[in-house]
Amino acid sequence: MIFLPNNAKSAYRQLVQTGEIPHDLPLYVSIAPESDVSLAPPGDSTMFVLLPLPLSIMERPEQMPLISAHLKKQVLDRLCTHGIRIPYSAIAIERVRTPLDWAARCGLFQGSAFGAAHTLSQMGYFRQPNRDRNVSGLYYVGASTVPGTGVPMVTLGGRMTAERIAADVC
Ligand SMILES: Cc1cc2nc3c(=O)[nH]c(=O)nc-3n(C[C@H](O)[C@H](O)[C@H](O)COP(=O)(O)OP(=O)(O)OC[C@H]3O[C@@H](n4cnc5c(N)ncnc54)[C@H](O)[C@@H]3O)c2cc1C
């Protein structure tokens, strides 16, 4: 489920341009046991929530615990407005991953979980190509290159890179 902010334009402007955390964030929520009951103990469930944050968050790592607590409240309040009531006491186990974790644990540049954004200057021809434009024999794969981020795109990109290498070598 994707919950969009009431004022999406303002929220995305804050995220991308001013580097603020909007009061009303878009949420991506997945409750996997709804389609596969084996993913939670009988009578319990799991919930995965993904929130976009501005890159500016990386400049204030000391505030991350406070920000996380604030965002958790924002998420639970938002779900509550849609009739999904999850009291704090019902949460048995909680894991929070922040852009700081993506940077430290996965080596992701600026903690960006999805690589280079799909802004106009980084899309299509302007996105990092699979084959370097200047250095012969240098190729790229992954979320920040062509065609884009996400497992399907990255897998496709890997195949495109392999095809380019094969075409250059043969
Ligand atoms: C929370 C979250 C949810 C997501 N949800 C989805 C989703 O629902 N659907 C979807 O399609 N995509 C999703 N994505 C995006 C998707 O996971 C990425 O776009 C994709 O994994 C990127 O693939 P990649 O090969 O470029 O990088 P990665 O999968 O990050 O692989 C890079 C690998 O390189 C390793 N590495 C880094 N630095 C070094 C180094 N110096 N030396 C050796 N190894 C190194 C890393 O450990 C890692 O294993 C999600 C991402 C996150 C973080």
**What string of H, E and C letters represents the secondary structure of 30-69?**
ECHHHCCHHHCCCCCCCCEEECCCCHHHHHCHHHHHHHHH
CA of 79 from ligand 1 middle (Å) equals: 28
Q: What is the pLDDT of residue 54?
A: 92
CA of 82 from ligand 1 middle (Å) equals: 32
Q: Indicate which atom in ligand 1 lies nearest the CA of residue 30.
A: 8
Q: Tell me which residue has its CA closest to atom 10 in ligand 1.
A: 150
Residues 108-153: tens digit of each pLDDT: 999 999 999 888 999 989 999 999 999 999 999 999 999 999 999 9
Q: Indicate which atom in ligand 1 lies nearest the CA of residue 141.
A: 26
Q: Tell me which residue has its CA closest to atom 26 in ligand 1.
A: 142
- Where do the domains of the chain lie? 2-111, 120-169
Residues 17-68: tens digit of each pLDDT: 898 999 999 999 999 999 999 999 999 999 999 999 998 999 999 999 999 9
User: Predicted confidence band at 170 (pLDDT cuts at 50, 70, 90)?
Assistant: confident
CA distance 111 to 158: 22
Q: Which of 119, 121, 122 is CA-nearest to residue 146? A: 122
CA distance 118 to 31: 27
What's the predicted TM-score (pTM) here?
0.82
Q: What is the pLDDT of residue 150?
A: 93
